[in-house]
Structure 1
Amino acid sequence: MIKGHSALAKALIDNGVDTIFGLIGDANLFFVDSFIREYGGHYIAATNEANAASMAIGYANASGRIGVATVTHGPGLTNVCTTLVEAVKGRVPIVVMCGDTAAEDRENIQDIPQRDIIVATGAGFEQLRSARTVAHDVPIALRRAMVERRPIVLNMPIDMQQVDVTYSPVRFKVSEKRGLVPTSSDLDNAIGIIAASKRPIVLAGYGASSPEARLAILRLAERTGALLATSLKGKDLFRDQDYNIGLFGTLSTPVAVDLIMEADCIIAFGASLNKYTTSRGAFLKGKRVIQVCDEQAEVGNYASPDAGLVGDTALVAETILHWLDEAEIPSSGFRNEDIKLRLRNYSPGERLGNYKSSDGTIDLTTALLEFNKLLPENRFLVTDVGRFALSVFRLIDAPNVHSFMLPSHFGAVGLGMSQAIGVAKAVQSRPVVLFSGDGGFMLGGMAEFNTAVRYKLDLIVVVCNDGSYGAEHIQFRAKDLDPNLSIFDWPDFASVANVLGGKGLTVRTENDLLAVAEAIKTRDKPLLIDLKLDPDRQPPAGH
């Protein structure tokens, strides 16, 4: 016989969960203790419940496994709501082990209707039915998270955790997802559109980022003479290819925009074609569009394609390639030496401009171009949300598509630091680089920087510090209003980083970047770089 809280911990271990993120309270502390002390699990203690769940998101995205967090009841749960919505919108499989008030304790000040709050975020709710069903309820929650691709909150009443139970392991199973190839008239239509195209572009999103899909898409693009592009979430999928035009959408480079406007056909694999990817529809006008996704709900959700195909992206690409060969369809001829040279000669940061920052600040474009050289090549790149991020997306490379993460599905600033910590726990042999705004760092990053210190994580944090909430600042300026409401007199972040146990330094000029290079090379603890910027001299947001 073991206690219910011990059975909950054992059920996680038996289902392959060896790491959880959390903050303890009276409704989950014994469960966490059992997970660590009895079963040797790894626990990362956050300073805020929202950040604990956000760490689980980072861990899940970087590891490909289910992320698990734990919080206590009442305010412990309500603090998690923003993060739950982020995970719902990002379709991230996490499980939150949430303590709950005992039903008989009706006067407990932390008692709230937890199910109502959870369901309102779009997350799934799973009730611990009794102490006797722990071994079944935990794998049910884990399985739901994986197959539903969203957060599931397992509600654990305090009284059930103290009951003696007989435990026998139960392990969750997920059925194999078979790759499908469409055989409808849409496939014939798609092949006909590609055969008639003279200037095609193959656009890939994160849904086509598997190694198999990438290779199949590259073969199709070469066979058809198509140029290559990615959505933001597919960033750097084709970075080593000659005919890669980079990001497709509002963040496209000038040379990419010119080539997109020349194109007559877009073949999109695993991309949602939302308003950012299509530049609010402008990049699809006058073009035939083919969209391939592995889920029916994704096809035509934002833009209506001329041919929509539901199937495995790699298999669909191979099937199209097969029939083009069978019909002996020639290449479009869009690829040529002139385009190759235009792409090769384009300088990153071109037309973003140097904005001649005021005294005591550095130009963001200049700094980021230098950071792209100085940062470790095997980095995992994470960005928080803010005006600065648009320049980071353009100018900072990731080694590959699976080494880049942006916690921006809900537009909530401040989740970057916590997700970076989750990533660092998942990829322990690699440095994690976080770009954060000053507002986001103050909101959700400062306290968790100490968490990175406590767990000795290899984390480099670049705070793009313009002393303001930049997205709001630019709106005030656009209407010739005083932006003072968006301006903040923050503390010295470099000094704060030192006090919190890491290492901090400040960059105000290009000469200061020499110290950055040395600090990156010799780092032995979390490093924070406070990049001083002028809020009135920032690159444009996009086109």
Structure 2
Amino acid sequence: MSISQSVPAGDRPVAAPPQTAAHVVGRLLGDCGVEHVFGVTGSGNFVATSALIEAGATFVAARHEAGAVSMADGYARAGGRVGVASVHQGPGLTNTITSLVEAVKSRSPLLLVTGDTSDGATRSNFYVPQVDLVTSLGAGSERPRHGQEVASATMRALARAETERRPVVLHLPLDVQHSPMSNPADGAAGSKGHPTGGFPPPSGNSLDRLVAAIEAAQRPLILAGRGVWTADSRVAVEELRDRLGAIMATSAAAHGLFAGNPWSLGICGGFASRPAATIVRDADLVIGLGVSYTKWTTRHGTAFAPGATLVQVDNDPAALSADPRVDLPVEGDVAATVNALLERLTGIRPREQRWDVRLGAEAVADSAWNVQPFHDETGDGRIDPRTLSLLLDGLMPAERTVVVDGGHFVGFPSMYWSVPDPAGYLFTGAGFQSIGLGLGAAVGAAIGGPDRTVVLAIGDGGLHMSLVELDTLARLRLPVLVVVYNDAAYGAEVHHYKDSGADLGLVRFPDTDFVRVAAGFGIEGATVRQPKDLDVVARWLACENRGPLLLDCKIVTTVVADYQAEAFIGH
């Protein structure tokens, strides 16, 4: 089997004994426990990738480099470990840029191994200033200058990806790759990655101010981001909530963090229901833990009352200075900060001072999307996307991983589909607002979290941009449910410009029969125009050893997701 296809462990190509720096890279990554590598091989990354396969990893061949990085991103988010991708230098690397930026903005731990032109080879067709390029995007870089630095650079890059929680690119110049190495471990001795210890707790002054703000608040809201999840602090945060009588909400990236907790409003911001948004706006103190106050989360600055005090706890100083609306920035580890608060705030608030008691659990329950009324517009061969989303939420197993691509449709699965925890929700359009990254992420999520049913929500526009990875999905026969919200358009632009008098023909297209397209790749498909067409999902779930299933859902084109009204403010 050629390694241009998927090569599982135990079916390895016969390789010569490691003898170059490129072999050392693959061997070390394998020794460090890398189990999967996603990529597109070329001459610049072939040897290192082959050595990694020989060392025990499974290679998953993508059809495009952007797909490879999205797969590694999805693998990292769903599996809770560093995702690894491998691509050729020059155009191989530049093809990853959109996926790489999304991973940077989403703080995904990801190692991207790529070739590079030799020092001075600026006339090479493959030349591009790679380190400057990826550094400008916010990714980390490691580039060994000679063979003796390869091992330490490799170990350092892998450690940085994990501890810094961002993509780190390992650039391997061709001449360095070819350096003879007498021992695969040459250069590894004494190599040190970044420290793996926790971040420090907040300063005493910051903690004093935070405690004072909490004691003065009448209606505290705990707003948790993915930083709470990565810090494994859900239980501690819920204990803090219990003491304060606070209400809780999450960013989109942390969707599912408080699944099952009766005091959680779900996602804050654009994806919140109107009753939930009303409760959030009534808070007089917002305690942001490991969360970025993005336009999504703040509903373009309208989510919180003007007089509310906003707190942000983060270990990244850059994150703390990103939003001038924050009144109390607290630099420190989320887990350490919450534990320090629990030590200081030992008592339980009197019943008459608790917001949860005064508000009532019924108000929180009544804010859930699945109980909000709407007029079902299913008809004329098209299904209402709200009806579609509600029905699918009831059909899918509770243990699920939901991957959401970008586009207007994102409001529907994000509002109506529950997830068990943040590892079960991968919004690939959240960081960079790109479309077309979801299919690759779904492949990675299915491999990184095989014990859950993976469901991909994607628009027709995003699927057209990533069609080549249907081949990967079919080749690996992954049990992924692909739900296409098909309005034959770039729906966000249609709804944004429909009253402007502009020519919407620029963003509308002839309808695509994705069932026929999927069949060409060997994937089962079904067209959904009304609720009974979803019977195929139950049959699919009942099958053992099932492969992928694609639903081409012809949705009503006039239904606008609630978040859309704020989506383009300031654009």
**Bin of the TM-score, shorter chain as denominator length:** over 0.9
Structure 2 unaligned blocks of 5 or more: 1-17, 567-571
| Residue in structure 1 matched with residue 27 of structure 2 by the alignment | 10
Give 2:526's aligned amino acid: L
Structure 1 unaligned blocks of 5 or more: none
SS at match of 2:278: helix
| Residue in structure 1 matched with residue 12 of structure 2 by the alignment | none
| Residue in structure 1 matched with residue 200 of structure 2 by the alignment | 180
How far apart are residue 148 of structure 1 and its match? 3.7
Pair 1:393–1:163, CA change in 2 (3 A): same
Q: Say whether 1:308 aligns with 2:329.
A: yes
Matches within 5 A, 1:311-390: 311-325=332-346, 330=350, 332-336=353-357, 339-346=360-367, 348-349=369-370, 353-354=374-375, 356-390=377-411
Q: Say whether 1:236 aligns with 2:256.
A: yes
| Residue in structure 2 matched with residue 422 of structure 1 by the alignment | 444
Give 1:154's aligned amino acid: L
Pair 1:134–1:352, CA change in 2 (3 A): farther
State how far apart, in whole Å, the 2-side matches of 1:57 and 1:178 are.
23
Pair 1:134–1:294, CA change in 2 (3 A): closer
State how far apart, in whole Å, the 2-side matches of 1:438 and 1:253 are.
26
**Normalising by the residue count of structure 1, what TM-score does the alignment of the two structures yield?**
0.92
Deviations 1:85-143 (A, max 9, x none): 22222222322221234568776533444344334433333223223432222113223
Give 1:389's aligned amino acid: V
How far apart are residue 318 of structure 1 and its match? 3.3
| 2:31–2:55 contact (8 Å) kept in structure 1 | no
State how far apart, in whole Å, the 2-side matches of 1:96 and 1:195 are.
46
State how far apart, in whole Å, the 2-side matches of 1:302 and 1:424 are.
35
Q: 1:535 aligns with which of 540, 553, 557?
A: 557
Percent of aligned pairs with the same amino acid: 33
Give 2:446's aligned amino acid: A
Give 2:170's aligned amino acid: L
Range with greater deviation from structure 2 (406-415 or 108-117): 108-117
How far apart are residue 377 of structure 1 and its match? 1.7
Pair 1:33–1:186, CA change in 2 (3 A): closer
| Residue in structure 2 matched with residue 93 of structure 1 by the alignment | 109
| 1:275–1:302 contact (8 Å) kept in structure 2 | no
Pair 1:322–1:11, CA change in 2 (3 A): closer
Q: 1:411 aligns with which of 425, 433, 451?
A: 433
Q: Say whether 1:480 aligns with 2:501.
A: yes
Q: Say whether 1:80 aligns with 2:96.
A: yes
State how far apart, in whole Å, the 1-side matches of 2:252 and 2:261 are.
17
How far apart are residue 300 of structure 1 and its match? 4.7
| 1:236–1:397 contact (8 Å) kept in structure 2 | yes
Pair 1:451–1:334, CA change in 2 (3 A): same
**Normalising by the residue count of structure 2, what TM-score does the alignment of the two structures yield?**
0.88
Q: 2:290 aligns with which of 270, 275, 278?
A: 270
SS at match of 1:435: strand
Range with greater deviation from structure 2 (512-521 or 342-351): 342-351
State how far apart, in whole Å, the 2-side matches of 1:34 and 1:319 are.
47
State how far apart, in whole Å, the 2-side matches of 1:56 and 1:10 are.
19
| Residue in structure 2 matched with residue 461 of structure 1 by the alignment | 482
State how far apart, in whole Å, the 1-side matches of 2:103 and 2:244 are.
37
How far apart are residue 33 of structure 1 and its match? 2.5
Deviations 1:127-164 (A, max 9, x none): 23223432222113223333443322222233443443
How far apart are residue 342 of structure 1 and its match? 2.5
| Residue in structure 1 matched with residue 458 of structure 2 by the alignment | 436
State how far apart, in whole Å, the 2-side matches of 1:436 and 1:477 are.
22
State how far apart, in whole Å, the 2-side matches of 1:34 and 1:325 are.
55
| Residue in structure 2 matched with residue 127 of structure 1 by the alignment | 143
| 2:401–2:453 contact (8 Å) kept in structure 1 | yes
SS at match of 1:164: coil
Give 1:277's aligned amino acid: T
SS at match of 2:111: strand
Range with greater deviation from structure 2 (397-406 or 62-71): 62-71
How far apart are residue 49 of structure 1 and its match? 0.9
How far apart are residue 266 of structure 1 and its match? 1.8
| Residue in structure 1 matched with residue 11 of structure 2 by the alignment | none
Runs of 4+ with deviation above 6 angstroms: 104-107
Let me know the Cα RMSD of the aligned residues: 2.5
| Residue in structure 2 matched with residue 227 of structure 1 by the alignment | 247
Number of aligned positions between the proteins: 540
| 1:398–1:404 contact (8 Å) kept in structure 2 | yes
Q: 1:396 aligns with which of 400, 403, 417?
A: 417
Q: 2:161 aligns with which of 138, 145, 166?
A: 145
Deviations 1:35-91 (A, max 9, x none): 22x323210000001111221111222223222211112321221122222222222
